[in-house]
Amino acid sequence: MLFTSPEFLFAFLPVVYVGFLALKRFAGHRAIVSWLIVASMVFYAWWSPRFLVLLVASMCVNYVAGLAIERSFGFNRKAIAAAVIVANLAVLGWFKYANFFLDVAADIGVAPRTALDIILPLGISFFTFQKIAYIADIYKGVARSAGFLDFALFVFFFPQLIAGPIVHHAEVTPQFMKLGHLPRDKDRTLENLGVGFTIALIGLFKKVVIADQIARYASPVYASATSAPGVGALLAWQGALCYTVQLYFDFSGYSDMAIGLARMFGVRFPPNFNSPYRAADIIDFWRRWHMTLSRFLRDYVYIALGGNRGGEARRYVNLMATMLLGGLWHGAGWTFIVWGALHGFYLLCNHAWRRWSPWRMPAPLGWTLTMLAVVVAWVLFRATDMASALAILKGMTGVNGVWTPALAAHETPQALASALALIALCVVLPNSQQIMRAFDPTLGEVDARGRWQLPLAWTPSKRWAAAFGAVVVAVLLLSWEHSEFLYFNF
């Protein structure tokens, strides 16, 4: 069930929310949590009921393992934690990487070429990382197990079940435990509804009105990149820049909807995007892009490998290994591995520059170089294979000329101009958290408005109501052609 689909917007969400309000008034905590768990199971099973069994079984195993870790000491504690983390990774590896490794084995001649009939469970990468973080936090003592129902809601809560944000148990479970327990003077149901609905509507607008519309100018370029004798510069840059816009508005739109939907139920998530296309260097970019994944990779991979300990050379090795694993997490393919390696190389250069260069790069130049590096890497991220990626990257250099006669029907200068304009808006407009800053939209502090940002801040007013009324009209006009979120593939 997609957040943008009519069955979700006009049936599932209203029914679940009305039930939540009724139980909040007439029942209590256990009834509310149980209702949200059942609703979330329906939400997941709408796509494939059989994989609901896998998710329930995985949840039970991790819950029991968490209890066992808390009650064990010494070697037993470490052995249980290691075993359940390996089990989680094994499940992920089987569904996501089995065919990839079989292909690699066939390519190097150690096995015959074959393919297994495996369907990737929706959201498996996200809920696997979430449970690995839970087990690691229990082992380190930074999280404590809760009741079974609260843990089940932590796993199943539908706003973040499919594509994040990757939340920590210690961040949301205390909030779940308060559902139905707050005194009336601290109940902010109307504020939560208004703030949450507004953030979700911003995300819906990003997805339906921007991402889905500009995708039509990016997808044909990648689909036909290897069919033409040579992709010209105009078409290559059109595909690269339009996808750069599409990916950001698609995934940040999903994250906004997840954050907004959770807030409607009185739950605050950590932010997942903080205007990444405003970053002046690649280190800053990764502090702003897919922030909960970056946090996971830092805390559970980079630091586990040794982090900054062991000298500068070891630090760079750990950083590169982390980005390679981050690339592989996104997909079982060489394009994702090369994408991760490229960003690892970017980060090594950035850290080396900060450490050794006596010259401070001007912010406009740093921003330009960062955006260029990000756009080039996104070509690898989007392409279905290395041949397509190299064809587009070659075209971007201009060696094939400006035009692509064989693909003239796909060349749309207006799309290129629109992509550049939208990237500029990403720089000057505040993000959704900044717009809603006065209402504590997410966990943690919200960044203050930057130097070049426009001073937009939401308030319950007629002007904002009219603006969001126009957003609703735009969404309704275009929602009939809704498509799944890009990160559902990961």
Lowest-pLDDT choice from 86-90, 174-178, 224-228, 273-277: 224-228
- Among residues 385, 426, 114, which one has the least CA distance to residue 244? 426
Give the separation between CA 377 and CA 365, rounded to whole angstroms.
Answer: 18
Residue 20 near residue 189, CB atoms below 8 Å: no
Q: Quick check: helix, strand or coil at residue 398?
A: coil
DSSP-assigned letter for residue 368 = H
- Catalytic residue selected from 29, 169, 290, 330: 330
pLDDT attached to residue 183: 67
DSSP-assigned letter for residue 269 = P
Give the separation between CA 352 and CA 275, rounded to whole angstroms.
Answer: 24
Q: Supply the mean pLDDT for the chain.
A: 89
Q: CA angle, 58 as apex, 23 and 173 as ends, to 5°?
A: 40
181 is catalytic: no
| Radius of gyration from C-alpha coordinates of the chain | 23
Query: What is the mean predicted confidence (pLDDT) over 287-308?
Result: 93
Report the percentage of the chain scoring pLDDT > 70.
95
Residue 489 near residue 381, CB atoms below 8 Å: no
Give the confidence band of 266 by pLDDT, cuts at 50, 70, 90: very high
Residue 402 near residue 252, CB atoms below 8 Å: no
**Total-model pTM:** 0.93
Query: What is the mean predicted confidence (pLDDT) over 293-312?
Result: 90
Looking at per-residue confidence, does 268 or 307 come out higher? 268
Query: What is the mean predicted confidence (pLDDT) over 392-417?
Result: 85
Q: Residues, the chain, total?
A: 490
pLDDT attached to residue 92: 93
Q: Quick check: helix, strand or coil at residue 469?
A: helix
Query: What is the mean predicted confidence (pLDDT) over 366-375?
Result: 97
